[in-house]
Amino acid sequence: MTGAPDIRQHPCESHGPRRDGARPDMIVLHYTAMESAEVALERLCDPEVEVSAHYLIAGDGRIWQMVDEAARAWHAGAGQWRDVHDVNSRSIGIELANRGDHPFSEPQMAALEALMQGIMARWGIAPEGVIGHSDMAPERKDDPGPRFDWARLVRQGLAQGLPEARSCAPDWEAFRSAAQGFGYPEVEDETLLRAVRLRFRPWGRGALAAEDMQIAAAMARV
């Protein structure tokens, strides 16, 4: 794990107070789907767009802070994780400069790990509180996408991994129950399957399979 990251301050206007005295107990990871970090920074700080995040990390590892961690940034939008519907009030949003169609660079991942380590220590955020935008808004979002290295974060203790489990025959009711128990919102079956695969089996294609059921069995054990 690297040391404390060098963070550049670039305040934006699009934020507000966290509602009902909420404190962040989640981190939501995004990709920008834009051509460069500078273009994303301009958009995230455009008050007319009314979108923001706490941090943006460039491909070369540069980090900008746009919103104070104590404030409510406007990054998550409509969605749900577990029993939380106002994810913005309960989370810190990190944008990664990536179009979504290529791997995340080593400097970017190292900067993310260092940043997350500090955030999680300051706010007492557990690894299970680290999610992707696609986890909490599977009907709308794909980020951080199939190229994001979740396993790397798990190895660093910065995201929740899954225990070993046995595979079994495809069973939509069991899959749905396990995924929703893990935290996923109630959505159409195919949308749910795609969201779970983005996180745990991004190479998966086609109908619900025994490998997906193995993931469901593991989710049911945590």
The active-site residue out of 38, 95, 139, 186 is 95
Q: Is 95 among the catalytic positions?
A: yes
d(CA 189, CA 173): 9
d(CA 91, CA 141): 17
The Cα-based distances of 159 to 12, 31, 129, 145 in angstroms read 28, 17, 7, 15
d(CA 17, CA 163): 37
The Cα-based distances of 204 to 140, 148, 151, 172, 201 in angstroms read 19, 15, 16, 16, 6
Residue 27, token pair as written in the block: 């981190």
The Cα-based distances of 45 to 75, 77, 99, 134, 178 in angstroms read 12, 16, 19, 23, 38
Residues annotated as catalytic are 95
